[in-house]
């Protein structure tokens, strides 16, 4: 092996320590120009400038933008966006008018559920969580009923408490 092979020739100037830590990209020897590398998600010195700029925009539509939860964004990203928006509007209207939302929104809820079932590949985590919550609620209801039945059996009956003692 000859000496020139031990050290590759540099075709690009070396980045300073500050530049290297800022870009956090591996140093490559001349295969691609730095412009061809994809942008990094977080760059030092520009810690989320976009959200700060959006904050001013959010103030105008504050209820809509700030109130948008992760669940809502997830639901609207799937195939049931329109059905979910209809359901959301029904719930909001029922709450605003102090109506029974279960009764008022039964149809839109059924339509949303049917849509989610038809798009179960996307909505499977939500459907599974709903099924788990339903099972848990049924189990807890059964425990309450058992406890009530047990307390009724153990309750004294019309002065019979003296005879059991």
Q: Is 112 exposed, middle or buried (0-12, 13-18, 19+ CB in 10 A)?
A: buried
69 or 163, which is more confident? 69
Confidence of residue 159 (pLDDT cuts 50, 70, 90): low
Alpha helices in the chain (DSSP H): 3-6, 17-23, 49-60, 62-66, 70-77, 81-96, 101-104, 106-118, 120-154, 161-164
Which residues, 6 or more positions from 42, have their beta carbon under 8 angstroms from its beta carbon?
Answer: 48
What confidence tens digit (pLDDT) does each residue in 64-81 have?
556 688 999 999 999 999
What confidence tens digit (pLDDT) does each residue in 135-144 have?
999 999 999 9
pLDDT at residue 125 greater than cutoff 50: yes
Which residues, 6 or more positions from 24, have their beta carbon under 8 angstroms from its beta carbon?
Answer: 40
pTM over 0.75: no
CA distances from 76 to 63, 105, 106, 119, 122 (A): 17, 18, 20, 13, 11
Q: What is 41-55 written as a DSSP string?
A: SS-TT-SSHHHHHHH
Spatial distance between the Cα atoms of 83 and 109, rounded to a whole number of angstroms: 8
């Amino acid at each position: 092996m000859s000496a020139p092979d031990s050290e590759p020739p540099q075709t690009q100037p070396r980045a300073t320590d500050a530049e290297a830590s800022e870009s956090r990209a591996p140093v490559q020897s001349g295969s691609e120009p730095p412009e061809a590398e994809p942008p990094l998600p977080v760059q030092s010195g520009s810690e989320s400038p976009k959200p700060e700029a959006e904050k001013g925009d959010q103030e105008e539509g504050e209820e809509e933008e700030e109130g948008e939860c992760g669940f809502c964004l997830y639901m609207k990203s799937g195939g049931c966006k329109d059905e979910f928006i209809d359901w959301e509007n029904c719930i909001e209207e029922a709450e605003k008018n102090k109506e029974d939302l279960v009764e008022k929104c039964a149809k839109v809820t059924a339509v949303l559920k049917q849509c989610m079932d038809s798009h179960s590949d996307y909505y499977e985590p939500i459907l599974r969580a709903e099924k788990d919550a339903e099972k848990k609620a049924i189990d807890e209801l059964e425990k309450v009923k058992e406890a009530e039945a047990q307390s009724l059996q153990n309750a004294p009956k019309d002065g019979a408490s003296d005879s059991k003692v």
